[in-house]
Structure 1
Amino acid sequence: MQVFFIVGAQKSGSSWLQKSLNSIEGIHCLGEGHFIDKLLMPMAQSLHEYNKMMQVVEQRVYEGKGFYGPVPDQEFMMTMRNWILSMMVRNAKVPQNSILAIGDKTPANSFHIPTLKKLFPRCRFIHLLRDGRDVAVSAYRHRNRIQAETGQTGTSLDDAAPQLLATWAGCTRAIRKAEMAGIPIHTMRYEAMLDNSAASLRGCVNHLLPQNSISDQQILAAIDANSFQVLSGGRAAGTINENSNLRRGQAGSWKDEFSPAVAEQFNPEDRELLESLGYTA
């Protein structure tokens, strides 16, 4: 059973990839488990405090001859690994022996790739990369929709865009840093998946399961089941619905949503990252 993690900035299209992979028999990608940021990290802090307390007890109560030593890191990591895997398998809701690959797509995983690799040495990573400017637009519209539901008002897109792009850049840099440290990561571009969904999804499947017998027909069926038109309830890509999580389904939407001056407000390092990845005007 191959464990895998989808990484990439929020609003990069990871839900689309998750659902597409999840539609292929034997592959299960369950959404956002937040295993590291909401489970392992708080538990690690609790473990640190526990070990610290036990050292005090040993010295003050048992004069250096206490019964309980600190919990070793190896034991903690093994426990977390088993717990996380158990949750993933349980929520797949299928017999374990039918699972070829099982994954999670929490965006925060982008910052915890070395920890995930330590937990699951054989795990694989897929980086869903999208033009940071489109990510900024999508994130802004998503935030606006949530604020509207609670009666809040926010800043304009032009004012919010530099910070939203910086968030994308921070996530992207963390993934590139892990890759440069020697962790293999398969990068799939959102724009490529729009242009040639079959080849892009096939590349992901072959990365997860190099010796797979998944047919082209299965790949195409997964693509058809998760097209923008199907997932949006019948809208063609480019038809905007401000109230939907699937708002537009296009690449390059920033061109007609930003004002021309916004790019000049971007952090120079973030603009350089965009250009290094081929995302130019």
Structure 2
Amino acid sequence: MNKTTSIKDTQSVPALHDTSPFFIVGVQRSGTTMLRLMLNQHPHLAIPFESGFIAEFYRKIDRYGDLHDTGNRNRLLSDIAGDDWVVRGKLIDDVTTIAKYPASDYAEIVAAIFQDYARRKGKPRWGDKTPGYVDEIDTLWKVFPGCKFIHLVRDGRDVALSLRRIAWGTSSIPRMAHEWRWKTLLAHKMGNLLGDHFLEVRYEDLVLDTEATLRTICAFLGESYDARMLDYHVKGVKADELPSDSIRWHRMSVRAPDPKKVFEWKTAMSEADQIIFEEIAGDALSAFGYECRGRTPTLKSRLRKLHYMLIRRW
């Protein structure tokens, strides 16, 4: 689509592409935004900002009745278009254009929304990057049987450090350790069930061996490798790549991969916090090949863990 073409032009809407997309999932602060920006430099791939609505609307889809009915479809589209995440990410430009796609069930309607986004970007294939879907893999599989998942995993101790630095993050190491452990292991178990439809990638490999890791991801997606993905940071982030209120939390994501952010916990996390995290999530750390030091809990670490457990109980 050339630059002067408007999505609102009265042109014919192309038939839907395959409704089996790919989803990038992972615990927040695991590098999913950086991976998305990399893949968006591929000439075939269009991945919008976090969607967040797919699982939510799937759970309440019965409210909309028979989606063969035009009125019901339009009501669903209107509600999705008003979703906060959809608005923030500018996923939908014009509902009337999406309504022209031959969609008569929920999966086809969702696919139409993303396919229209990809069309505006001049790309033939769409994907999604929503960290919150890391515990919704089973739901996404129900909507799109045959889809693919890229599960990005980062050492949970570095995830915890990153979360501490943002306004909406938490400072509780026990809480972060429990959440990281639960979500990463849950996704991993789902991956064992999905087989070839699931790829697990470590953030550390993406940063330290970027090209090889991207080649693996492209092979998994059935796409040829494109070196432009390595230059995702050169021209800066386009205005529609990230919402303005999100850029401040993704300063590192829009820069070249920084090896200093790998295993930062070894120097930036206190001994007590390291012990607490490993005590709670050591099995998950080991499962993903991360170092566990097996140190004896200190009085400080025991008291902090006890304090957290008492708060959770109440």
For normalisation by structure 1, the TM-score amounts to 0.69
User: Which among 225, 249, 257 is matched to residue 232 of structure 2?
Assistant: 225
Alignment of 1:154-233 (within 5 A): 157=171, 160-183=172-195, 184-209=197-222, 212=223, 214-215=224-225, 218-219=226-227, 221-226=228-233
Give distance in 1, aligned partners of 2:39 and 2:32.
10
Gaps of 5+ in 1: 49-77, 148-154, 232-242
Give distance in 2, aligned partners of 1:247 and 1:24.
20
Once the 2 structures are TM-superposed, how far is the Cα of residue 263 of structure 1 from its aligned partner?
A: 2.4
Q: Map Cα deviations across residues 116-171 of structure 1 (whole Å, 9 max, x no partner).
A: 1222122111111110111111112123xx58xxxxxxx7x4xx122112221121
Return the letter of the residue paired with 1:223. Answer: L
* Structure 2 equivalent of residue 31 of structure 1: 49
Give distance in 2, aligned partners of 1:39 and 1:256.
43
> Does the 8 Å contact 2:46/2:127 carry over to 1?
yes
Distance 1:95 1:226, change over 3 A: closer
> Does the 8 Å contact 1:142/1:245 carry over to 2?
no
Give distance in 1, aligned partners of 2:209 and 2:26.
20
Return the letter of the residue paired with 2:286. Answer: E
Which protein has greater RCO, CA pairs closer than 8 Å, 6+ apart?
1
- Residue 263 (1) aligns with residue 266 (2): no
* Structure 2 equivalent of residue 139 of structure 1: 163
Q: Map Cα deviations across residues 242-266 of structure 1 (whole Å, 9 max, x no partner).
A: x653359411111222111112323
Gaps of 5+ in 2: 1-17, 66-103, 238-247, 293-314
SS at match of 1:266: helix
Give distance in 1, aligned partners of 2:166 and 2:112.
32
Return the letter of the residue paired with 1:198. Answer: E
Distance 1:267 1:259, change over 3 A: closer
Return the letter of the residue paired with 2:220. Answer: H
User: Which among 24, 38, 47 is matched to residue 20 of structure 1?
Assistant: 38
4+ aligned runs moved over 6 Å, structure 1:
none
Task: Single out whichever of 171-180 and 130-139 deviates more from structure 2.
Answer: 171-180
Q: Map Cα deviations across residues 197-255 of structure 1 (whole Å, 9 max, x no partner).
A: 1111111111011xx4x35xx22x2112237x966xxxxxxxxxxx6533594111112
Give distance in 2, aligned partners of 1:226 and 1:205.
19
Once the 2 structures are TM-superposed, how far is the Cα of residue 83 of structure 1 from its aligned partner?
A: 1.6
How many aligned residue pairs are there?
220
> Does the 8 Å contact 2:50/2:129 carry over to 1?
yes
Task: Single out whichever of 30-39 and 199-208 deviates more from structure 2.
Answer: 30-39
Alignment of 1:16-165 (within 5 A): 16-43=34-61, 46=63, 79-94=105-120, 98-99=123-124, 101-143=125-167, 146=168, 157=171, 160-165=172-177
Distance 1:95 1:128, change over 3 A: closer
* Structure 1 equivalent of residue 78 of structure 2: none
Give distance in 1, aligned partners of 2:206 and 2:277.
27
For normalisation by structure 2, the TM-score amounts to 0.62
Give distance in 2, aligned partners of 1:230 and 1:190.
21
